[in-house]
Structure 1
């Protein structure tokens, strides 16, 4: 009986530590991030087989990059130009890109991350919100013009392609 009395408090202590450790290490998504993503169709995202889009920049420098992204397989097709202006067409699987592969060296993967992030910002805010700091700052005055809108900030931790981006 004495052994049972000693094991019970120790057992509860171990159980309590495990519960606290598991709940404190489990990151939760921001409610505002989920609200934004759902407004843009998050609930239907699982049905997407492929997305084709073109990223255009027009101004002093003009850039056009076309992508076909298959989210379920991770396959990405790129059509654009290299740093010398020569046409490039390449297909790769993002999870298989290594630091010494031409896809990484030519920064094609980096371009995909950039273009994909901006094309699908509402989803990335949700997908990344367990690692990024996403905050609902409430209604704020617009920086230009009249009116107000809800301000949501997203700050990324150090690491990755663009550490500390806000």
Structure 2
């Protein structure tokens, strides 16, 4: 199975989702620390040039691949990738289930502002603290989103490519 977490930039909530999925960070009663957040692979490290790239994060405990994707504002990227995946599956006997999971619904406003300052304007001294505040606000929602995504992946659903738009997990 292949999991692809996607959102606008692909460097904040998607990075956290991949880290939760791969158990690089774990859910607990406490919020993540600043250091835990900033040490997540790819967290706040991608640039505009990385948009559209499917980035490998690792293999989970079930042998499934975990990726992230920054799709910018295009609503067409994920449906196009679904169609391409279905084409490859039908023409080349590629049978692996692919799940696209949208992390955008978990993004709090403060994280959007932090991302704009840090990634957009390159003003990290303003952006990074806002990103950390936002990550602490949404980490529980991201964890629940990942758990739901993994549960759907394990289901006996016959679909070979699944798009999860998701909702805010509270």
* Structure of greater relative contact order (alpha carbons < 8 Å, 6+ residues apart): 2
Query: Between Structure 1 and Structure 2, which shows a larger proportion of helix residues?
Result: 2
TM over 0.5: no
